[in-house]
Amino acid sequence: MIRILSRDVALAVRAGGGFGLSLAFFLIVVVLVPFGVGPETAVLAPIAPGILWLGALLACLLSLDRVFALDREDGALDLLATAPVPLEGVALAKAGAHWLTTGLPLSLAAPFLAVLLGLPAPGHLWLAVSLLVGTPALSLIGTFGAALTVGLKRGGLLLSLLVLPLYVPTLIFGADVARRGAEGLALGPPLALLGAVTAGCVALLPFATAAALRVSLR
Amino acid sequence: MSGLVASDLAVARGGVPLLAGVSFDVAPGRALILTGRNGIGKTTLLRTLAGLQPPLAGRVAPGGERSAYGAHADGMKATLSVAENLGFWATLHGAGDIAPALAAFDLDDLRGRAAQHLSAGQRRRLGLARMLLTGRDIWLLDEPTVSLDRASVARFADAVRAHLGRGGIAVLATHVELGIEAEALDLERYRVTGATAGQGGGDIFAEGAVE
Amino acid sequence: MQTEMSLWSYANPTRFMATTRPLLPWLSALAAACLVVGLVWGFFFTPDDYRQGSTVKIIYLHVPSALMAINAWFMMLVASLIWLIRRHHVSALAAKAAAPVGVTMTLVALVTGAVWGSPMWGTWWAWDPRLTSFLILFLFYLGYMALWAAIEDPDTAADLTSVLCLVGSVFAVLSRYAVNFWNQGLHQGASLSLDKEENVADVFYIPLLVCIAGFVLLFVALVLARTRTEIRARRLHALQLRERMA
Amino acid sequence: MPDLGKYAVEVGAAYGLSAVLIVGLVAVTLWRGKRVKRALDAAEGRRNA
């Protein structure tokens, strides 16, 4: 499992595209926001946590259709399914690799982009924390969506339609942690709930993903 | 070790029954060559034998746990080197050392080369080296000699013979004469035709009018 | 097994068709009667509420449609489970047939809810927790239907949509909770919906019950009719595959 | 017609839009039902012919 994860990370880094692309997309989204709503800090600062969470979420979405599609094209998915590793483990490793190449860099980059939107000082830390806790759930849910659509010719758009409604709880709790952090409010409850969503996803979604993969491979 | 036994197997692709009543018994050290025209269901049969899809009817023994499946899509990553690609599959299958597999398919000189820079024949040998690394005794090979020149075909045949010599089993879907002593199974007579479809075809909606 | 008539024997497509054919006209007539009686009663012969004025009449559409929007998803969940566990084709097709009915009910609940809230909120749309939850449910329905439409092989589609329905149900409940957390008590959500029954006088309550019965019957009749169509479409699909093969 | 007072637009819109949606759903259900039945009958006919 570790081996699948490290191979996927190595592939993403070597191919270049998938790794840097989502970061660049995140940057562009954040840069475009002031053009849409105006440059005043009084306008930008209150919406900054939400914008940054939304930007990270969309950036996560960008690379999801590659999670299984590449392995399916070159036959590796068939070979993984026949290898002596449980498909649930493959699903978890795939989600882990996706998180390491998108969620983690996005979380680390977010505090710096937050400066562009005038997020008040204590908010940076909590923004990064909320993303670090929440983005694994985004990767796991996205991997599930990718498993549902892996056999389809035009799966990309459908994947977004399936995955985005499932992102609602994570987005609500995550953005709330970031917002409360920026306003200096108590953020225990939403952070605990965000952690619970991620923990639940880790525990349950690999089984659903593996079930969907088995059907898609048939 | 027992052989590979298929009894009264029926397979379908995309809900359409292709073959029905396929039965064979391949003993250890023996090979079976599947023949039949394009689209008859050779790939589907091999995938069923590999446990990648459930049969419509009938049984395969053993299931997928003893078999290694090799198709034209060999699962090798273009940007990884030969050694990296093989090392990955070796770890997954619990095989320690890739050196014997490299040697068996004459890949030693190429071990550092990225898979995308291999010729078609070299790439094919890489795929076969993976089969060896799985340590599994039933090889299921789909069109293994496509894009191979005469010398490479001969080398491939040697590898299969060596595998059989170790007591392994091979099922091959191919039209090329390999010079391997093997039984041939013409799938034409198991083909599900429009006339026979619906009799145990697996789809209850095909059996009779719904009202 | 042949001699004992179990409930599962209705899951055979041919039997299902034979059983539902005589049932459908009666169900449809009963649904239409309940809807006409309930809505006419509610619209013409109930007084205005002293606080909400005539907008109280929207209750006869909003409450039953909201109930059916949720129950339709619940029915799809049960049908998906039956398909995954017992592999009954009718069950999978019934889930597929229910989704467009559920999405329409959700739309009716959304539209009537927004219209009902508009005098109170002063706008046509407010991010009221209940309304927002229905909006999210609407998106779940869209995704479910889109997945059915995208997959060519019917059994594969049934498998994957069933898995999506299971996972979606968990996330739908989670979203409901999250939305409450996100916008707690900013709007008077509770005064809008079913909880109102407790302080609703009989003059409103009895026609409301008739309307709920009408919507339930309408749902059942529509799902039966649509399942019959799906079974025929499935048979047609099987025949066309055979034709192409021959 | 009952007097709907100052909320006539709201109540009218709610009933009108709901009627459009539900009648539309029933119409689509019936129309598709007929179309599929006709296509299936034709296919069964070809099969039996």
What residues of chain B lie within 8 A of the CB of A77, using their CB? 75
Q: How far apart are CA B184 and CA B173, in angstroms?
A: 10
Q: Measure C1 CA to nearest chain D CA, in Å.
A: 30
Residue of chain B minimizing CA distance to A77: B75
pLDDT (0 to 100) of residue C44:
82
Tell me whether residue D3 is in a domain.
Answer: no
Residue of chain A minimizing CA distance to B71: A75
- pLDDT tens, residue by residue, C198-228: 455 666 788 889 999 999 999 999 999 999 9
Radius of gyration of chain D (CA): 20
Report yes or no: C90 and C16 within 8 Å, Cβ to Cβ: yes
What residues of chain A lie within 8 A of the CB of B88, using their CB? 3, 7
ipTM: 0.89
Q: Which fold has domain B4-207?
A: Rossmann fold (3.40.50)
Q: Measure D48 CA to nearest chain C CA, in Å.
A: 11
Least CB–CB distance from C150: residue in A158, A172, A197: A158
Residue of chain C minimizing CA distance to D11: C55
What residues of chain C lie within 8 A of the CB of A164, using their CB? 139
Residues spanned by the domain of D34: 21-49
Report yes or no: A123 and A48 within 8 Å, Cβ to Cβ: yes
Q: Measure A154 CA to nearest chain C CA, in Å.
A: 8
Report yes or no: A143 and A209 within 8 Å, Cβ to Cβ: yes
Q: Which long-range contacts (CB under 8 A, 24 or more apart) does C181-190 make?
A: C181/A172, C181/A173, C181/A176, C181/A189, C181/A190, C181/A193, C182/A172, C182/A176, C182/C129, C183/C127, C183/C128, C183/C129, C183/C132, C184/C129, C186/C128, C187/C117, C187/C121, C187/C126, C187/C128, C187/C129, C188/C120, C189/C128, C189/C129, C189/C130
Nearest to C236 by CA among A194, B175, D40, A202: D40
- pLDDT tens, residue by residue, A168-215: 999 999 998 888 888 888 788 888 999 999 999 999 999 999 999 999
Nearest to C149 by CA among C163, C139, C140, C161: C161
List, run by run, the mean pLDDT of 10-residue segments along chain B (211 residues): 82 80 85 84 87 85 81 81 84 81 80 81 83 85 81 82 86 80 80 59 70 74
How does residue C192 score in pLDDT terms, banded at 50, 70 and 90?
A: very low
Q: How many CB atoms lie within 10 A of CB C14?
A: 16
Checking if the pLDDT of C234 tops 80, the result is yes
Burial A54-86 (b: 16+ CB within 10 A, else e): bbbbbbbbbbbbbbbbbbbebbbbbbbbbbebe
Q: Which two tokens stand for residue C72?
A: 């339709």
pLDDT (0 to 100) of residue A91:
92
- pLDDT tens, residue by residue, C21-33: 999 999 999 999 9
Structural domains in chain A (count)? 1
Nearest to B166 by CA among B142, B125, B131: B131
The whole-angstrom distance between residue A78's C-alpha and the CA centroid of its chain comes to 25
Residues spanned by the domain of A201: 2-217
Q: How far apart are CA C9 and CA C13, in angstroms?
A: 9
Q: How many pairs of residues across A and C have Cβ atoms under 8 Å apart?
A: 74
Tell me whether residue D12 is in a domain.
Answer: no
A39 φ, ψ (degrees, to nearest 5) = -85, -5
Alpha helices in chain C (DSSP H): 13-45, 59-86, 89-121, 129-150, 154-182, 202-245
Least CB–CB distance from B79: residue in A14, A71, A217: A14
Residue of chain C minimizing CA distance to B40: C245
pLDDT (0 to 100) of residue C6:
60
Output the DSSP codes for A69-137: HHHHHTTHHHHHHHSSS-HHHHHHHHHHHHIIIIIHHHHHHHHHHHHHTT--THHHHHHHHHHHHHHHH
- pLDDT tens, residue by residue, B186-207: 878 888 775 555 444 557 787 7
- pLDDT tens, residue by residue, A75-100: 888 888 888 888 999 999 999 999 98
The one-letter amino acid code at C128 reads D
